[in-house]
Amino acid sequence: MSYRLTVLAVLLAAACGGSAPPAVPASLSVHDAWARSADSGMVTAAYLVLANPESAAVTLTGASSPLAESVTMHMTHEMDGMVHMMPVDSAPVVAGDSLVFAENARHLMVNGLRRKLSAGDSLPITLTFAGGRTLDVAAVVKAPY
């Protein structure tokens, strides 16, 4: 085999995953992202699970969507039988842990929808982390009730 062919074979093996893949560190990911259906101009909520398999903590500092005027983090809690929502400025996610946004708990408040969100639509959300890092999420729109 000529040198040129050998190089080509190595490149092909790498491109096709034929050789042992280089160790790619697992990075931040989001799963189970969904948002509640709502009319244009209204407020809705979005939920997701943010996993941090990295070796260092990250801090979620905000979120935004091209389909909303703003996206803010909220925490729902019950006090004296009343349900309150408190804004949350930032949320750390320690290494190896997950941050859960769920109904009646931590959630993303999606304010001022620029269009109607119907079941089956996708709501794009960009999560922003301390240091300027971002993560794009596509939340599936559902109409649970």
Residue ranges in contact with Cu ion by CB under 5 A:
74, 85, 109
Q: At its nearest, how many Å lie between Cu ion and the CB of residue 56? A: 29
Q: At its nearest, how many Å lie between Cu ion and the CB of residue 70? A: 12
Q: How far apart are CA 143 and CA 145, in angstroms?
A: 6
Nearer to Cu ion (CB atom), residue 47 or residue 129: 47
Contact 61, 132 (CB under 8 A): no
Q: At its nearest, how many Å lie between Cu ion and the CB of residue 76? A: 7
Nearer to Cu ion (CB atom), residue 29 or residue 90: 90
Nearer to Cu ion (CB atom), residue 5 or residue 82: 82
Residue (of 105, 99, 102) closest to 83 by Cα position? 105
Q: How far apart are CA 18 and CA 38, in angstroms?
A: 47
Q: How far apart are CA 138 and CA 126, in angstroms?
A: 9
Q: How far apart are CA 57 and CA 1, in angstroms?
A: 49
Identity of residue 55: S
Strand-pairing partners, residue 30, are 50
Nearer to Cu ion (CB atom), residue 38 or residue 109: 109
Q: At its nearest, how many Å lie between Cu ion and the CB of residue 25? A: 34
Give residue number: closest CB to Cu ion: 74
Nearer to Cu ion (CB atom), residue 133 or residue 142: 142
Q: At its nearest, how many Å lie between Cu ion and the CB of residue 92? A: 20
